[in-house]
Homo-oligomer: A and B are copies of this chain.
Amino acid sequence: MKIESLVSCPDTKARAGQVHTDHGSINTPVFMPVGTAGSVKSLSPVDLIETGSQIILGNTYHLLLRPGMEIMESAGGLHKFMSWGGPILTDSGGYQVFSLGQLNKISEEGVVFQSRLDGSKHKLSPEISMDIQRVLGSDIVMAFDECTAYPATIQQAKTSMQLTHRWEKRSLNYFRSTEPLYGHQQQLFGIVQGSVYPELRKESARVLVDMGFDGYAIGGLSVGEPKEDMYGITDVVTEILPQDQPRYLMGVGKPEDLVEAVNLGVDMFDCVLPTRNARHGIMYTWDGPVSLKAAREKDAHIPLDSECGCYGCQNFTRAYMRHLFKANELLVYRLASIHNIHFYHELMSGMRKATLEGSFSTFKKDFYNRYNLKRAENHR
């Protein structure tokens, strides 16, 4: 998979391009809202389109446990099941097994875990993960990896990385030996691991590039490491990844993380923060996050952000939204999610525009001049 019409910023590593899938093209850099269980929480497909969503993410782990692959296959895949006509990326399920599942056993073969829903036993391996993602029918499939726990010693990180490499090779071989089920093409991305150790990360990037994936992800970051490690490792890895293929930083992040990572040459992102924070009343603005549950908002009969074009800001006041939060009215989870997802997309398209105009470093400076990071510290 190539990143097309690629424009690189002259004085940073920021890139703007396009990725083509059978469900449509994606302008990069791009943020992918997370549709964990076949739904970007509280949002309909129309809402997603209206907020500017180009591609969404689905979680293999959640969909495997519920509704299960039998229903997913009889539905004709995830696009049809959830009535989303745009591109979908699915993860491999590995990360959630480690972070959410009751992991019973890990071996060269793969993992055995218990469902957190009903205690049932399930297996995941490179081959099973590929089969599942064929059934889901995602446009972009992720290789099966082990997300290295943080912190890890360099030896632990190396052992884990080497297992990941063997699993990714099996993912690739098995994926290449199977066919899509629904007539549209699927692409396979490899995942760079190696914890916070630059030498391991370089090795991992080189090994994966040699295998020849359709695109490359940076995994195992935003797991508790210092920000300088997150940015430093991203910098090291994007130096090695091919210029002409998409790069995806998994599970990242806050607005400032997106700005830093685009600055370092990342094209794709996903994160639950905008939707999860929305449900807790934490709203993103160009001035920083705002808590709509705060008492000071109770008679603020003004929009959350008068510059914002989202449905919420165009129609409702902070006072109304605060009231809805206080009354646990379902409408507000949707209005808040629309706003935050819209903000994330505006941020990405602002960075894309700046990159195309060759002014990314000015964009970044302007962002930090205005965005209140102190506020941001209070919200996660």
Contacts and interface: CB of A to CB of B under 8 A. Distances in A.
Contact of A317 (B43, B75, B311): B75
Interface in A299-340: 299, 301, 311, 315-317, 319-320, 323-324, 326-327, 329-335
Contacts of A335: 44
The interface residues of chain A, by DSSP majority, are classed as: helix
Interface of A: 37-39, 41-46, 62, 66-67, 70-71, 74-76, 80-83, 298-299, 301, 311, 315-317, 319-320, 323-324, 326-327, 329-335
Contacts of A330: 39, 41-42, 330, 333-334
A326 B66 contact: yes
In the complex, the count of this chain's copies comes to: 2
Contacts of A311: 44, 46
Contact of A324 (B39, B62, B324): B39
Nearest to A68: B298
A329 B41 contact: yes
Nearest to A312: B44
A50 to B, nearest CB: 11
A36 B70 CA distance: 41
Given A43-B331, A315-B83, A324 B71 contact: no
Nearest to A84: B315
A202 to B, nearest CB: 40
Nearest to A332: B39
Given A67-B298, A74-B301, A75-B317, A323 B83 contact: no
Contacts of A41: 329-331
A330 B74 CA distance: 24
A372 to B, nearest CB: 27
A67 B316 contact: no
Contacts of A76: 301
A37 B327 contact: yes
A332 B43 CA distance: 10
B44 A320 contact: no
A319 B67 contact: yes
Given A39-B327, A41-B331, 9 more contacts: A37-B329, A39-B332, A44-B335, A46-B311, A66-B326, A67-B323, A71-B298, A76-B301, A330-B330
A299 B311 CA distance: 34
A70 B299 contact: yes
A75 B320 contact: yes
A83 B320 contact: yes
Nearest to A62: B327
A216 to B, nearest CB: 31
Contacts of A329: 37-39, 41
Given A67-B298, A317-B75, A38 B324 contact: yes
A317 B323 CA distance: 33
